[in-house]
A and B are shown apart, each in its own frame.
Chain A
Amino acid sequence: MKDIMVVETRDLIEVRDVEWGAGLLANAQSSGSTTCMMLAENGVFAARKEALASCLLPLIDDGVTVLADRFALRERGIPETDLARGVAPADLSVVVDWLEAGASVLWR
C-alpha cells in the first residue's frame, strides 16, 4: 500500500468530519502503510495538551505520526512546549518530503 499523509487544516474540535481523515489513517496504518497526520493552519489548535482532539490519541497510540506546522503554531501563539504527548513540531517542508517520496497526500 502507498504511504499516506493527511494535511488537516481545520480545527479538529470544530469540524466533525476530521474524524474521517483519522479513520483513514488508522486503517491504512493497520494495513501496513506508513502514515502521517500533518496539522496545519487551524488544525494545530487541537494538538495542545489541554485540548487534544479525541480522535488523535488513538492515532498516536497506533503509531501514526502526528505533526504540527511550526509556522501555524507561531502564528497562533502556541508554544511548542504546549503540544500534547506524541505530537511533534515540524516544518511545512515535510509535506514536500512526502510528495517527493511518492506518497498519497490528502488536503483537508
Chain B
Amino acid sequence: MTNQKTLTFVLMDAPFESSRTATAMRLVDIALGRGLNVNVFAYEGAVFLPFAPQKAHPNAVHGRDAEEEDHPLPREWVASLISKAARMGVAFDWVNCGLCVDERGAGEAIEGVRRGSPADLWAMASSSHNTLVIPTD
C-alpha cells in the first residue's frame, strides 16, 4: 500500500566513517516500507555512498578472503533501497550534489542515482511533507 506523503533525508557523512550512515539507511528503509515516497539529497562526503567502484576486501587479520569477510558496501545498501522502492511502487529520488561530486571525483554513481544541485534540495524540501537533515557530528 502506498502513502502519498514524501519525506526528504539530507545526508552529509562519507561512507565507512560514521554510525549515522547505517542509521540513515535504516530510516529510509522504514519510510519506504511504509509506502512513503522518499527523496535523498547527498552532499559533501555522502556523495560517495553510491560510488560504483566500491569494492569489498579481504581481511588478513581475520584470515578471511573478500567473500568470507562479506564487507558491507554502502553502494549495495543504496541499490537495495532503490530496489525496495520499485517493489513498493513508491517514488525514490537520490540526488548527489554535483558540486560535491566534482570536488571529490565521485562521478561514478550506481544506476538510479542522479546528479543535481542545491536547487534540487530546495525543491525536494519545498515539496515534501517533512525533511530530516542528518549532518556530520
**Interface residues, chain A, CB within 8 Å of chain B?**
9-10, 40-42, 71, 92-93, 95-96, 99-100, 102-103, 105, 107
Among B7, B23, B36, B132, the residue within 8 A (CB) of A92 is B23
Residues of B contacting A103 with CB < 8 Å? 130
Quick check: is B135 within 8 A (CB to CB) of the other chain?
yes
Other CB < 8 Å A-B pairs besides A10-B137, A41-B20, A99-B7, 7 of them?
A: A9-B23, A92-B23, A93-B30, A96-B30, A99-B129, A102-B130, A107-B133
Q: Is the CB of A100 within 8 A of B36?
A: yes
Q: How far is the CA of A107 from the CA of B26 in the complex (A)?
A: 15
Chain B 7-26 interface residues, beta-carbon cutoff 8 Å to A: 7, 19-20, 23, 26
Residues of A contacting B135 with CB < 8 Å? 107
**Interface residues, chain B, CB within 8 Å of chain A?**
5, 7, 19-20, 23, 26-27, 30-31, 34, 36, 129-130, 132-135, 137
Query: Contacts A107-B132, A107-B134 hold; do A96 and B7 have CB atoms under 8 A apart?
Result: yes
Among A41, A102, A107, the residue within 8 A (CB) of B19 is A41
Q: How far is the CA of A71 from the CA of B19 in the complex (A)?
A: 12
Q: Is the CB of A100 within 8 A of B130?
A: yes
List, sorted by A's number, 12 A–B pairs whose CB atoms are closer than 8 Å. Answer: A10-B137, A40-B23, A42-B19, A71-B26, A92-B26, A93-B30, A96-B27, A96-B36, A100-B7, A100-B34, A100-B36, A105-B130
The chain A residue sitting closest to B128, CB to CB, is A99
Q: Is the CB of A9 within 8 A of B7?
A: no
The chain A residue sitting closest to B3, CB to CB, is A100
Q: Is the CB of A9 within 8 A of B20?
A: yes
Q: How far is the CA of A93 from the CA of B34 in the complex (A)?
A: 10
The chain A residue sitting closest to B24, CB to CB, is A107
Q: How far is the CA of A34 from the CA of B90 in the complex (A)?
A: 30
Q: Is the CB of A95 within 8 A of B27?
A: yes
Distance between A68 CB and nearest chain B CB, rounded to angstroms:
13
